[in-house]
Amino acid sequence: MRRNETDLLCQAAEELCFDNTFTRQLPADPEAQNFRRQVFGSCYSRVQPTPVTAPKLIAYAPEVAQRLHLSEAFCQSETFVDIFSGNKVLPDMDPHATCYGGHQFGSWAGQLGDGRAINLGELRTASGERWMLQLKGAGATPYSRGADGLAVLRSSVREFLCSEAMFHLGVPTTRALSLMLSGEPVLRDMFYDGHAELEPGAIVCRVAPSFTRFGSLQIFSARNDVKTLQQLLDHTIRHDFPHLGEPDGACYLRWFNEVCQRTAELMVHWMRVGFVHGVMNTDNMSVLGLTLDYGPYGWLEDYDPDWTPNTTDRELHRYCFGKQPRIAGWNLARLAEAILPLVDDTQALQEVLDTYFSSYKEKWQSMMADKLGLTSFQAETDVDLLDGLQQVLMLTETDMTLFYRKLADLDVDMEISTVSDKELIQPLMEAYYQAGDVRGLILQQISGWLRQYVQRLQQDGRSNTQRRVSMHRVNPKYVLRNYMAQVAIDQAVAGDYSEIHQLYALLEHPYDEQAAFDRYAAKRPEWAKNRASCSMLSCSS
């Protein structure tokens, strides 16, 4: 933010400006009472956050606050705590929970909806931006089904830290403004094994231009409610995709194409940084192509495309790392079906959907060329180079983040005909969990690939420095390793929030060296390998 913009910062609640286009322009549920039900013909139900007794601010994200034009003093005020814990609803807000459905693990699940998320309203900033503010864990809504509408501290810390870490990695994502303790205990059976325990309750304020999901459109299509389907899609296009022009049949196709392109980009980013969402149900897919709903997500440590952190997906691995791009394509096919009544041209939708797969491949190849520090992807050499890399990463437990970061240290000027395998691999040794395995055939295979890679670099012609600088821009040094979040959570449960703040600061600059934080750029410690919450997570949150 420029200096002369500081006087535009909101210092007090009265200065916040809301323009609630969603609730003003879309059909509302006529029922005003808050009880669980099926809601028809409406995009949302008005519902107030449930007040809490002893809210306490654990952290807020200054970067998000700035985006929203909120002053530091305001973010540290009691009013801020009151508003973002759900205790104080401002007169211009219009709290509501949205109706949506979704395919969960491949099957249509019917109505889901915001069961524990309440949109407060659309904040309009002094620079004209519009942001939906949403409290997650602020109490039951008509869509809460059999659950309580609350969130626990552990999952809220994970959402707060990860959404901000993703943003700073350059990955499209919903943001998190604040993390509060509700001051109230929440009962959870973390492992679904009949041992429910009380955990501290928490509330995160999430921020995005909109939280509209594939499932937000699917629900109306599934119910043959074409009128509401069209109202929601038209609203989405007018507010979030205004550059596509006035909604009509051709515009809906252009819109679907843009969702496909944005989703392809999102998948490329996840594959680049080693992020596994864990629950890619269609209700967790944002039409804006944002990472949405941080639940049992995880970060790839040793490179294993079949890995998923989600214990609910233990058998099928439907949402494992390597399958994410294909699953996104499957989800886009469900979105295409949902808007078919408005487009009425299966073939045209199919053709757009096909471009998702081709453009994902193209974007992925170009991203991989960046990860390897090549000026561009050259099919003649690089298809083979990338195939080989895929195999090399799986020969022995290899830390993905460290491998790519250290790869930048390879010396392009070396004489590969004389250098020994051991010397060649030296800069990468830190990436191997079992250093003792890196010998014999494995060593030969890895160094065989490294020789091919160095030759390719020599042909490419970049200097060591040029290559290192560009590689360090796409290969992060620091990611939110699964155990790191858990250490911060364990301390937070004991009342110490310093690790949350430390990780927040670290992850604001994931590509920088930050030598003082080197310990966070190390391999996952052995104790965390099979520890629950560090490598496996349940959906219970």
The residues of the shown chain that bind ligand AMP, judged by CB under 6 A, are 112-116, 143-144, 147-150, 279, 284, 293, 295, 539
Token digits of residue 346: 């299966």
C-alpha span between 273 and 21 (Å, rounded): 35
Site for Mg ion in 271-290 (CB under 5 A): 284
Cα separation, 27 vs 24, in Å, equals 8
Q: Does 159 bind Mg ion (CB under 5 A)?
A: no
- CB 148, min distance to ligand AMP, A: 5
CB 61 to ligand AMP: min, Å: 21
To the nearest whole angstrom, how small is the minimum distance from the Cβ of residue 421 to Mg ion?
48
Rounded Cα distance between 294 and 310, Å, is 12
Residue 313 binding: pick among ligand AMP, Mg ion, none (C-beta 5-8 Å cut-off by kind): none
Beta carbon of residue 218, minimum distance to ligand AMP (angstroms, whole number) = 13
- Residue whose CB is less far from ligand AMP, 283 or 399: 283
Give the SS3 label for residue 174. Answer: coil
Size of the site for Mg ion (CB under 5 A): 2
94 is a contact residue toward Mg ion (CB under 5 A) = no
If you write DSSP's letter for every residue of 421-469 in order, what string do you get? HHHHHGGGGGGBS-GGGSSHHHHHHHHHHHHHHHHHHHHH---HHHHHH
> Which one-letter amino acid corresponds to residue 180?
M
- The option from Mg ion, ligand AMP, none interacting with 147 (CB < 5 to 8 A, set by class) reads ligand AMP
Least CB distance to Mg ion at residue 284 (A) = 5
For residues 234 to 273, the per-residue mask of contacts with Mg ion, x marking binding by CB under 5 A and - elsewhere, is ----------------------------------------
111 binds Mg ion (CB under 5 A): no
Type of residue at 236: T
Q: Can you read off the two tokens belonging to residue 456?
A: 């390719």
Q: Of the candidates 29, 94, 164, 293, which one interacts with Mg ion according to CB under 5 A?
A: 293
- Say how many C-beta atoms besides its own lie within 10 A of residue 25's C-beta: 14
SS3 535: coil
Considering CB distances under 5 to 8 angstroms, the limit depending on partner class, which of ligand AMP, Mg ion, none binds residue 116?
ligand AMP
Distances (CA, A) of 27 to 99, 132, 227: 11, 18, 10
**Count of other CB atoms within 10 angstroms of residue 13:** 16
Tell me if 396 contacts Mg ion by CB under 5 A: no
Which backbone phi and psi does 356 adopt, to 5 degrees? -60, -50
Q: Which is nearer to ligand AMP, 164 or 293 (CB)?
A: 293
Q: To the nearest whole angstrom, how small is the minimum distance from the Cβ of residue 100 to Mg ion? A: 9
The residue annotated as part of the active site, out of 225, 234, 240, 283, is 283
* CB-nearer residue toward Mg ion: 225 or 293: 293
Q: Which amino acid is at 294?
A: Y
Annotated active-site residue 409? The verdict is: no
Give 523's DSSP letter: P
Residues acting as catalytic residues: 283
Q: List residues near Mg ion by CB under 5 A.
A: 284, 293
